[in-house]
Structure 1
Amino acid sequence: MSTLIPSLLATALAMATATSSTHAAELPSQSAPAGVHNVVLVHGAFADGAGWRGVYDDLTARGYRVSIVQNPLTSLADDVAATRRVLDRQDGPAILVGHSWGGTVITEAGVHDKVAGLVYVSALAPDAGETTAQQYAGFAPTPEFVIDVGSDGYGFIRPQTFKAGFAHDASDADAAFLRDSQVPINMSVFETPLTQAAWRSRPSWAVIATEDKAFDQAMLVHMAQRIDAQVTRVSASHALFMTQPKVVADTIDRAARAVVQTAR
């Protein structure tokens, strides 16, 4: 018995190790590029980081280390500071991703030395010296996207038109949850000039929702072209960060692989 038990344990351990190794080799997590395995996601106005869950699940399954910024939407400086805190915690280069107002945030914060590339998800992309509000000039407003501003200067999307303006391709239940869990934004942030434009020194990608009602389609195309982004278009609402997680994750994956190739 004394010799048999160690022998059986050794055999069982060897089998378990072999099975574990085979299983690990089959996991999609093995496909993440060696050079850039960090992704930092920045949400936009009227939302929080929970909407990134589908993108998070997709990318972590591919082997990426994904961090989600919970920016407070109180000022550009506060949102940039929140993003920099998360970037400081990365163990190597990262792809920095922003949705909507989050595009302004990553444009300012993206000069951080950990940022290897930028992904704009139906996102704003001002230049240094410009305000976010200036990006709307000359483009048609969309009647479905209505913001109610309180006496304290914070805005919410009007509940009655929330689904039509923000998330028409989400289920009624998901759209209602987004509507009722809105994070208001200090509307003064749109008048704050940027001091940095990270897209001038970092390669950029853009995912454009072709049914976006928060922005004029021509405005999204104009911004993507100006920053020389590689563009992916998808039939989706402004809430594409939640309703089209695979398309967004695929673009982030391409960005990570492209900056690795560029660095070689």
Structure 2
Amino acid sequence: MKTKLTFKKPNLILLIVALFISTNIYSQETKTIKNVVLVHGAFVDGSGWQGIYNILVKKGYNVSVTQHTLMSFDDDVKAVNRIIDQQDGPCILVGHSYGGAIITTAGNNSKVAGLVYVAAHAPDDGESEADNGKTYPPAYKSLIKGEDGLDYINPEKFPEDFAGGVSKEKAKFMAVSQTPTADVAFHAIIKNPAWKTKPSWYVVAKSDRIINPDLERMYARRAKSTVIEVDGASHCVFMTHPNEVANLIVSASNAKK
């Protein structure tokens, strides 16, 4: 004996509407964010992101690379916000090293949907990366503070301390072409950190000599970030392990909103 299911017209309409709404919500929650903004750290410029840029562009992402001066934290945040404002929709904001402090502030921009920290600082309200570095001392001793208020890394030590794993020729070039950074930028006090209200992801470079890996782990734990740890990776993990870093950015872009 077959049972015939019948629906009254009002109930059928409600069912169709409910299915439409649930499907629409699911679509919105799983929609991939296609805009990515890459923020460089101290002593380097945006060109170090080229490997990750190439991977993401091939995957169909719209990738922007910031070029800020490293002369003033506030000005660097403004420069990054200028690029964020140019995006045609929500974006994933990625920061390396000192760039992490920048995205911690610039990440409050309404267009930022998520934060990806790559061996980066993620200070809390009232903290600075300089003070946090004293709590978790790094391995390197090659920082030189100029009398003009600009810091740089001893070029002879740069390949080992900053660019471990990068080819010798490339690391030497990075050493002699490094961008001096204003010491005051490292002492900027963070206010209203974006990671408290927005989802975050974190790449821990397990052999980092510039930022203590335990400080990176503390940042990630405190922000409740999704974390990957990369064995043997130096501070230049974004250059030496572009696939791992790019994959985490892709994961961030696909996360349910």
TM-score category of the 2 structures, normalised to the smaller one: 0.7 to 0.9
Q: Which residue of 2 aligns with 1:229?
A: 225
Where in structure 2 are the equivalents of 1:157-172 lying within 5 Å? 157-172=153-168
Q: Which runs of 4+ in 1 moved over 2 A?
A: none
Match of 2:212 among 212, 216, 226: 216
State percent identity of aligned pairs. Answer: 44
Tell me whether 87-96 or 171-180 shows the greater mean CA deviation.
171-180
Q: Which runs of 5+ in 1 are unaligned?
A: 1-32
- Asked if 2 retains the 8 angstrom alpha-carbon contact of 1:80 and 1:105, the reply is yes
- Asked if 1 retains the 8 angstrom alpha-carbon contact of 2:151 and 2:181, the reply is yes
Q: CA deviation at 1:35?
A: 3.7
CA deviations 1:37-60 (Å, max 9, x no partner) are 000000000000000000000000
Q: Which runs of 5+ in 2 are unaligned?
A: 1-29
Question: Helix, strand or coil: the match of 1:122?
Answer: strand
Tell me whether 127-136 or 183-192 shows the greater mean CA deviation.
127-136
Find the aligned partners of 1:145 and 1:166 in 2 and give their Cα distance.
11
- Asked if 1 retains the 8 angstrom alpha-carbon contact of 2:156 and 2:175, the reply is no
- Asked if 2 retains the 8 angstrom alpha-carbon contact of 1:145 and 1:164, the reply is no
Match of 1:147 among 120, 143, 146: 143
Find the aligned partners of 1:174 and 1:88 in 2 and give their Cα distance.
33
Letter in 2 for 1:165: D
Tell me whether 229-238 or 92-101 shows the greater mean CA deviation.
229-238
Find the aligned partners of 1:94 and 1:206 in 2 and give their Cα distance.
17
Find the aligned partners of 1:121 and 1:107 in 2 and give their Cα distance.
12
Q: TM-score under structure 1 normalisation?
A: 0.83
Find the aligned partners of 2:134 and 2:195 in 1 and give their Cα distance.
20
Q: TM-score under structure 2 normalisation?
A: 0.86
- Asked if 2 retains the 8 angstrom alpha-carbon contact of 1:107 and 1:197, the reply is yes
RMSD: 1.2
Find the aligned partners of 2:138 and 2:213 in 1 and give their Cα distance.
10
Question: Helix, strand or coil: the match of 2:156?
Answer: helix
Where in structure 2 are the equivalents of 1:50-89 lying within 5 Å? 50-89=47-86
Q: CA deviation at 1:121?
A: 0.1
